[in-house]
Amino acid sequence: MTNTNEDRYHGKRFVRTGKVIGPGVAPHNKRRWDWIEEAGSEGRTYSEINAPDSIYRQCIKRKEYAGNNTVINQDLNYDIRDGWIEVK
């Protein structure tokens, strides 16, 4: 099986890091991270995050985002790269 963009995170869980959210953070980003944090130490599964109309999806604000059929990996990559969430 090849490692496609969609299966990179398949079966993974994501948890919120301890990075402090400052006052200048966009509200939609904060809501995404808070939603993951609400799941506690178990975190959220990729399936939960990727589900149609998930809180995570509702909080994606980018021009190329076209709703539930859009791959969300670039958003996860952003959140991981910037230290807001991590793969458990």
The ranges assigned to domains in the chain are 13-17+25-87
Q: What is the mean pLDDT of the chain?
A: 93
* pLDDT tens for each residue of 9-43: 999 999 999 999 999 999 999 999 999 999 999 99
pLDDT at 4: 53
Percent of the chain with pLDDT over 70: 93
Tell me the pLDDT band of 88, cut-offs 50, 70 and 90: very high
Q: Is the pLDDT of residue 3 over 50?
A: no
Q: Is the pLDDT of residue 65 over 50?
A: yes
Q: Helix or strand or coil: residue 28?
A: helix
Alpha helix (H) residue ranges in 1-88: 27-37, 46-50, 55-58, 73-81
